[in-house]
Structure 1
Amino acid sequence: MSIEVSKLSFSYGDQLIFDDISFTAHDNQLLSIIGSNGAGKSTMFRCMLGLLNGYEGKVLFNGTDIKGLSIKEMAKLVAYIPQSHYPSFNFSVFDMVLMGTTTQVSSIASPGEKQIRNAQAALERMGIEHIKNRGYTHISGGERQLVLIARALVQEAKVLIMDEPTANLDFGNQIRVMSEIKSLTRDGYTIIQSTHNPEQAFQFSDSVLALKNGKILAGGAPADIFTEPLIQTLYGIDVEMQTLYEGKVKVCIPKCVIY
């Protein structure tokens, strides 16, 4: 499923958050959005999800404007993984994942065998089936993020929007989760993620969008846009970029004095 964002702009009162944003996320691809804190990434996601309605421009899913879709219709198309989530009640990990199936049953029915099997499969895919009976608020931040991704998978929407999905994970889990996210594109998912890790974006993304002060600074294939000047402009630090493994990996090394 393709996503087209056209001339998207949004303001909080007189404060312009982002302006004239246009891009396309294609079928079976991972698009990474990079930029410093306050660049407008999370707010843009909320507009794309229909959670903020005061924007200008259009968001199209397979050519359909989301402004004409109900909440339930949106839930069948797109799943959202936020940066963090703290429910009021200490549901079990399994129940948290199972909640992703609510659009598949009526409001007065309970999840059936299919939904239960899908929840179990999602837990196994993310490697967290061993904690399925633990309370969601009693697990680590990284484990909570894996639970949210599993919950998105059972929603059976083919678009996933992820707000810094590896922010709370240790290095090993970051690689495992990004590898799994990339594998989802081969299973027919279209995925948009925000990240503060340019190396991660280069290694796993099919395309990258760089935001600065609410504007698009650069966009395209990672190998085409990742340069030292881009990283310096985005984050305000001098870096040296080195290429490894015949161009498959780029590493950003800060030019700082080590005492």
Structure 2
Amino acid sequence: MISKFWFEAQNINCFKGGFRVIKDLNLKISYSENVILIGPNGSGKSSLIEVINRNIYPVKTKKSKLKILGSELINLWELRKRISTVNNDIKNRINPNLHVYDLILSGLYGRYCYIPNKSERDLHEVENIMKNMDISYLSKKNFSYLSDGEKQISLIARALIKKPDILILDEPTANLDYKSKFFVIDKINELSKLNTKILCVTHNISMITPIYDRVIMLKSGRVIAEGNQNKVINNKNLNKLYGINLEVVKENEFWTIKRLPKE
């Protein structure tokens, strides 16, 4: 029987540098849902991405279990093909003079450089993804000339060209100004029309838009709340998550928070 979950963790614990970064994690994520994982810095969000990408491994016990893409025996080639991750470190690997068109095409080869021998099929794939994401106007621009928001969307397009089942976005609006941040959020919302499902990992509550079927709150390596966003996003859970007195408000389908005075 084929599992409906692409990620299944049961009682897993992970360590980095002698510290336990994932604690007794029980979590399932299905192929049919867009999920946003939210938590403060140091909550274990990046560590969970490393678990998914097989960069760190859980401690094996009789009570623990980890399945990715329905299997405990995880094929790294299949993993790289079916799960694409975009993080902010990628920007440092790219030649600043590389055209956006060639950057996106390089995703078909798992590289970050100019690909000299392009097939007609490759060209069609690049043109198609740029058209679907409405970024064809960036095609001939050098990567270094892009705004921070355009850089992020170009990297997302590069990740999507392989048509993965799952797209992991690691802090996609980190260090962006307001214009770039909202540009990226709007583009991510448009991705919900594609077949690829999104796991967005962030500390920023304004990232939580209607495309997300489920919100997971992570603190100190543990899930403290999860479910539908209208159920999970409330003052009590956010105060617990961030450890300060906050008030959350939803206006025009966007969540905002403000800090309340100390009692």
The answer to whether the aligner puts 1:3 opposite 2:6 as a matched pair is: yes
Identity %: 24
TM-score (norm 2): 0.82
Task: Determine the structure 2 residue equivalent to 1:80.
Answer: 85
Gaps of 5+ in 2: none
Say which is worse superposed, 153-162 or 23-32, in terms of deviation. 23-32
CA distance in structure 2 between the aligned counterparts of 1:68 and 1:27, rounded to whole angstroms: 17
Task: Determine the structure 2 residue equivalent to 1:206.
Answer: 213
Q: Structure 1 residue 19: deviation in Å?
A: 1.2
Partner of residue 68 from structure 1, selected from 71, 74, 87: 74
CA distance in structure 2 between the aligned counterparts of 1:95 and 1:192, rounded to whole angstroms: 26
CA distance in structure 2 between the aligned counterparts of 1:98 and 1:222, rounded to whole angstroms: 36
Superposition pairs of residues 94-133 of structure 1, within 5 angstroms: 94-102=101-109, 110-133=117-140
Q: Structure 1 residue 240: deviation in Å?
A: 1.9
Residue type matched to 1:63 in 2? G
Superposition pairs of residues 159-170 of structure 1, within 5 angstroms: 159-170=166-177
**Does the CA-based 8 Å contact 1:20-1:215 persist in structure 2?**
yes
The answer to whether the aligner puts 1:32 opposite 2:39 as a matched pair is: no
Residue type matched to 2:36 in 1? S
Say which is worse superposed, 49-58 or 139-148, in terms of deviation. 49-58
Q: Residues 101 and 30 of structure 1: is their aligned pair in 2 closer, same or farther, counting only changes over 3 Å? A: same
CA distance in structure 2 between the aligned counterparts of 1:87 and 1:5, rounded to whole angstroms: 32
Aligned residue pairs, count: 249
| 3-state SS, counterpart of residue 185 of structure 2 | helix
Q: Residues 51 and 199 of structure 1: is their aligned pair in 2 closer, same or farther, counting only changes over 3 Å? A: same
Say which is worse superposed, 12-21 or 200-209, in terms of deviation. 200-209
Q: Residues 186 and 128 of structure 1: is their aligned pair in 2 closer, same or farther, counting only changes over 3 Å? A: closer
Residue type matched to 2:31 in 1? D
Query: Which whole-Å deviations, capped at 9, do the CAs of 1:196-250 have from their partners, x for residues lacking one?
Result: 22243254421011111111111111111111121112222212223445xx444
Query: Which whole-Å deviations, capped at 9, do the CAs of 1:62-119 have from their partners, x for residues lacking one?
Result: 4123x4303x32222111111342116333222211111126xxxx994422221221
CA distance in structure 2 between the aligned counterparts of 1:5 and 1:97, rounded to whole angstroms: 31
Task: Determine the structure 1 residue equivalent to 2:52.
Answer: 48
**Does the CA-based 8 Å contact 2:149-2:184 persist in structure 1?**
no
TM-score (norm 1): 0.83
Residue type matched to 1:3 in 2? W
CA distance in structure 2 between the aligned counterparts of 1:175 and 1:139, rounded to whole angstroms: 16
Partner of residue 215 from structure 1, selected from 197, 202, 222: 222
Say which is worse superposed, 155-164 or 6-15, in terms of deviation. 6-15
**Does the CA-based 8 Å contact 1:28-1:186 persist in structure 2?**
no
| 3-state SS, counterpart of residue 74 of structure 1 | helix
Residue type matched to 2:93 in 1? P
Task: Determine the structure 2 residue equivalent to 1:14.
Answer: 18
Q: Residues 212 and 180 of structure 1: is their aligned pair in 2 closer, same or farther, counting only changes over 3 Å? A: same
**Does the CA-based 8 Å contact 2:209-2:254 persist in structure 1?**
yes
CA distance in structure 2 between the aligned counterparts of 1:76 and 1:58, rounded to whole angstroms: 23
**Does the CA-based 8 Å contact 1:28-1:189 persist in structure 2?**
no
Gaps of 5+ in 1: none
| 3-state SS, counterpart of residue 177 of structure 1 | helix
Residue type matched to 1:218 in 2? A
Q: Residues 113 and 8 of structure 1: is their aligned pair in 2 closer, same or farther, counting only changes over 3 Å? A: farther
Say which is worse superposed, 197-206 or 148-157, in terms of deviation. 197-206
